[in-house]
Structure 1
Amino acid sequence: MNNLQDWPEPIVRVQSLSESCLDEVPNRYIKPPLERPSIKSSSSSSSFASDDDVNIPIVDLGGLYGKDDTLRASILGEISIACHDWGFFQVINHGIKPELLDRGREIWREFFHLPMEEKQKYANSPKTYEGYGSRLGVEKGAILDWSDYYFLHYLPLPLKDYNKWPALPSNCREVIDEYGRQVVELCGRLMKVLSINLGLGERRLQDAFGGENIGACLRVNFYPKCPQPELTLGLSSHSDPGGMTLLLPDDQVTGLQVRRGNDWITVKPAPHAFIVNIGDQIQVLSNAIYRSVEHRVIVNSAKERVSLAFFYNPKGDIPIEPLKELVTPERPSLYQAMTFDEYRLFIRTRGPKGKSQVESLKSPR
């Protein structure tokens, strides 16, 4: 089966475009003027407009499980404020060794620099998106993003197929497996914190996700050098459709931007930190007490960039709707029930569309 034939148009690898020494971005990647990033400087490093003094909150998880109740309460409070005010925060001292994070980034960088014929063995299709890809959505003639990616399933176990994971670089599959195991554990700990901060039992959110029967997947993003970064985006503005995302950013090259009102804030990653963000499913479950936030990725004329986005999602066939404990006469239920499988299919047909997907779930009044 040729997966490339399942797409509405021939697939072009952005990395190949970048390496062909183009001086201009092809028209298929040029965003409408209002969607383009703003240049603050004309330097080759492509500095984009943002407030240099603003960054998403950084939360030190080191004391979360210690005996100091005051410190624990302070950490819970920091996360609560971040979820309410930003929808994004960074976590440090999270318990995953820096060596594993570094190795995880490095093996994926090595993968994207393998010969094209090796990578093409894993070419994906819009049926599952699993494998090596270069576009989201199946809209013919869509304006595309300046990025390639690799998507794979980690949970549930029936979807975990090592044959769809890269065989190279050597021990790649073992590193991915261990990385996924530890990130799933960290996500579970953060779910308890979010649940407590919503005034619920510590397992309430997790149970609403399906208990231990959750879904988890990894999308590794590769953003090649771009000759005209002011005209395009590595990833268009969107909110994450799943439950919660843990992003391991490229700590050498910034690129993630988070919407803050009418501004775009360029996130400055802390060393060996994860960037955590609320997804659409937690927005629905929390009845919009916590909100997913639009974000996008800018690209760079001088440097490539690699990031690992790990998605922690509800079980696919469970209807997701506001938790009854968070629905009151003063705050009625805002959303209609929809399973994550249904929602994911809805997203796949359209590609990144800001916040329009989750907004379309709102109950009619």
Structure 2
Amino acid sequence: MDCSQDSWPEPVVNVQSLSESGLSTIPDQYIKPPSERPSMQTSEHNQQGIPIIDLSCLIDDVARCPAIVQAVSAACQEWGFFQVVNHGVSEELMDRMQETWRTFFQLPINVKQAYANSPKTYEGYGSRLGIKKGVILDWGDYYLLRLMPASVRSHERHWPTQPCSLREITYEYEKEVAKLCRKLMKVLSISLGLHVDYLQNAFGGEASAGESLRVNYYPKCPQPELVLARSAHTDINGITVLLADHRVGGLQVRKGDAWITVQPSPGALVINIGDQIQISSNSVFKSVEHRVLANSADERISLAFFYSPQNDLPVGPAEELVTPERPALYLPMTYDEYRAYKLKERV
């Protein structure tokens, strides 16, 4: 089925309305097979968790921060995930972002439904991610916006008018997190032995790199042991910056055969490597599977900021990282082509 179709294959039911209806058992279309349920696979044996990296000494000349470069390199090779503190994004802004978007999701369903999305662009308010009919769905709703570059920015109709401060705060947050991503791109380039601007240039430069925001809303679930709020997946973009909900956990990262729960550090942002960085690094850095658990006691909100290559620019392994002993593991492909390929696999 064409991933650019204009409508979903089945009527979309917002998970929040299901949760608020007071049901005690969940519909069959949300119940995962036994092998995928969290109660069958969750492991907490690794108490160390993903690394926490202090970026306080990071300046434009990242070569002067070898300890950070080394720590990020180790985290990207071993985990594909790490947390950052002293990252330059104010906690006050982070709190305002979460509360503003929480307020949106607390609006009446008819107000939110005015921004209902379609699989043509996924922009706006939605619940499902894939276009295959009859699949097992995830227990969560979301809102997707494209922020940069200006040529692909979400149209006015995709922006909620309530709360009135939402758009202003979202763009303020975007500017600060984009600065962090550009610094991390330099750190990643140096840690791979590449020129400091290699990855940023491979993504089309600062003015052309893609930036989008997905706000995830995971309502309470009466049977969390049977569902996933977000099924296991890797991110198709380059870098993801996650503002997690510190009140209610749920993010898990695959480590070997185990699923490790991420405990967000106060004031931290969670960073993970996406498929485009794995491709560019010729698999030196790993884009790692992760998933989100549901919760019976409370709702949960998180904000994922995606930093991506220019849509029509082919991305492939850096020539410096291709050797006779380690040949190129990927063929160059534009981000548009890669995204279309991955969307066909979504459920």
Is 2:63–2:190's contact at 8 Å kept on the other side of the alignment? no
**By how many angstroms is 1:49 displaced?**
4.2
**Aligned counterpart, 1:209:** 203
**Aligned counterpart, 1:43:** none
Is 1:275 matched with 2:276? no
**Aligned counterpart, 1:326:** 321
**Aligned counterpart, 1:362:** none
The counterpart of 1:306, out of the listed 279, 290, 301, is 301
Instruction: State the TM-score, normalizing by the size of structure 2.
Output: 0.95
The counterpart of 2:256, out of the listed 237, 241, 261, is 261
Gaps of 5+ in 2: none
Query: Which shows bigger deviation, 123-132 or 19-28?
Result: 19-28
**Aligned counterpart, 2:238:** 243
Is 1:169 matched with 2:163? yes
**Aligned counterpart, 1:229:** 224
**By how many angstroms is 1:326 displaced?**
0.6
Is 1:123–1:133's contact at 8 Å kept on the other side of the alignment? yes
**By how many angstroms is 1:118 displaced?**
0.7
What is the distance in 2 between the residues matched to 1:339 and 1:65?
A: 31
The counterpart of 2:120, out of the listed 113, 127, 131, is 127
Is 2:252–2:290's contact at 8 Å kept on the other side of the alignment? yes
- For residues 143-170 of structure 1, the C-alpha deviation after alignment (integer angstroms, 9 at most, x for no partner) is 1000000000001102223431111112
- For residues 260-295 of structure 1, the C-alpha deviation after alignment (integer angstroms, 9 at most, x for no partner) is 000000000011211000000111111000010000
What is the distance in 1 between the residues matched to 2:156 and 2:9?
A: 27
**Sequence identity (%):** 56
The count of aligned residue pairs is: 342
Is 1:59 matched with 2:60? no
Structure 1 pair 339–69 and aligned structure 2 pair: CA distance change class (3 A):
closer
What is the distance in 2 between the residues matched to 1:143 and 1:346?
A: 20
Is 1:73 matched with 2:66? yes
Query: Which shows bigger deviation, 58-67 or 314-323?
Result: 58-67
Instruction: State the TM-score, normalizing by the size of structure 1.
Output: 0.90
Letter in 1 for 2:108: P
Structural RMSD (CA) = 1.9
Is 1:38–1:49's contact at 8 Å kept on the other side of the alignment? no
Structure 1 pair 154–68 and aligned structure 2 pair: CA distance change class (3 A):
closer
Any idea what SS the aligned residue of 2:302 has? strand
Structure 1 pair 165–54 and aligned structure 2 pair: CA distance change class (3 A):
same
- For residues 206-258 of structure 1, the C-alpha deviation after alignment (integer angstroms, 9 at most, x for no partner) is 00000121111000000000001000000000000011100000011111000
**Aligned counterpart, 1:33:** 34
Is 1:235–1:298's contact at 8 Å kept on the other side of the alignment? yes
**Aligned counterpart, 1:137:** 130
Gaps of 5+ in 1: 41-47, 353-365
**Aligned counterpart, 1:157:** 150
What is the distance in 2 between the residues matched to 1:33 and 1:340?
A: 34
Is 1:117 matched with 2:110? yes
Deviating runs (4+, > 6 A) in structure 1? Answer: 66-70
Is 1:162–1:173's contact at 8 Å kept on the other side of the alignment? no
